[in-house]
Amino acid sequence: MWQKYVSEYCKTCDRCQKANKSTGKTLGDMIKMQEPSRPWEIVHMDWVTGLPPEGDRSYNAFLVIVERFSKTPIFLPCHKNDTAMDTALLIWNRVVSWTGIFKNIISHRDSKLTSALFTNLHQSFGTKLSFSTPYHPQTDGLAERMIQTLEDMVRRFCAYGLELKDCDGFTHDWCTLLPALELAYKTSIHASTNQTPAILEKGWNPKLPQDSLRKYLIEIHPTAASFKGMLEKARKHAVRCMRTLLHMLRKNGINHMQLQISKWGT
């Protein structure tokens, strides 16, 4: 009985309503930013942290990079305490080396990206760094929602690594599972573009692992069979994660990040 009175009092308390953080939908339209004219012109960056140490270097985080034109994501395992130099080398070796220099990078004000080394380096490249302000993180509402969706999807998917074991009892950690999720996302159709990220980025969809394995492997070596089983399980779980998140987004009235599950879901 008293709990009901307390709840009603808090709802009508002027001081409580002013001090409490709003959890409802933000009023107004999303802030629109410059649109790219080609792939890898504008990218969005954010980190997912708080993961258990995995991989040969005990990674405990990963960098999410989303290419704005095609919506292509890249997941790069890293460490939470990486320096600006570590981050710059990671992006250069794993992304810029085959995409070229970005025109604009959009991200939060992470200390690694706002460091003198990182800002001076990109100034020399002619790359613009766009940061959200501390009290207005919704610099780009579409990118914010997309990054959050990818992070939620990856967290759900990586947790599955603890359950995924091969015939030898080896547990595949989240580092080994990330590429499967990245491929599943790249070959899923976005409702906003009606194309897969792979088509918009490269002009063609990559051949999927299960297609070749089913077609050519008649007598499979035990190790190959174990690897095939891992790929198939990871693929199916990636699709389930995407469907779960899409259901949550639609339930909350968020439709601009819809995905259509392509033949990965078959």
pLDDT tens digits, one per residue of 107-161: 888 889 999 999 999 999 999 998 876 555 555 555 666 667 777 777 776 665 5
CA count, 13 A, side-chain hemisphere, 247: 6
Q: Who's near 218: CB < 8 A, 6+ residues apart? A: none
Task: Specify if 144 maps to a domain.
Answer: yes
Task: Give the pTM.
Answer: 0.68
Q: What is the pLDDT of residue 266?
A: 43
HEC assignment per residue over the chain: CHHHHHHHHHHHCHHHHHHCCCCCCCCCCCCCCCCCCCCCCEEEEEEECCCCCECCCCECEEEEEEECCCCEEEEEEECCCCCHHHHHHHHHHHHHHHHCCCCEEEECCCCCCCCHHHHHHHHHHCCEEEECECCECCCCHHHHHHHHHHHHHHHHHHHHHHCCECCCCCECCHHHHHHHHHHHHHCCEECCCCECHHHHHHCCCCCCHHHHHHHHCCCCCHHHHHHHHHHHHHHHHHHHHHHHHHHHHHHCCCCCCCEECCHHHC
Say whether pLDDT at 29 is over 60: no
CATH of the domain at 89: 3.30.420.10
Question: Would you place residue 74 in the very low, low, confident or very high pLDDT band (cuts 50, 70, 90)?
Answer: very high
Domain count of the fold of the chain: 1
* Locus of tokens 């790359």: 127
Residue 102 in any domain: the answer is yes
In-domain check, residue 24: no
- Domain encompassing residue 148: 42-265
47 within a domain of the structure (yes/no) = yes
Q: How many CB atoms lie within 10 A of CB 36?
A: 17
Let me know if residue 254 belongs to a domain: yes
63 located within any domain: yes
Res 117: pLDDT: 92
Instruction: Of 265, 100, 255, 94, give the one whose Cα is nearest residue 196.
Output: 265
Residue 19 belongs to a domain: no
pLDDT band for position 166 (50/70/90)? low
Any domain includes 34: no
pLDDT of 5 above 90:
no
106 and 45 Cβ atoms separated by less than 8 Å:
yes
pLDDT at 265: 44
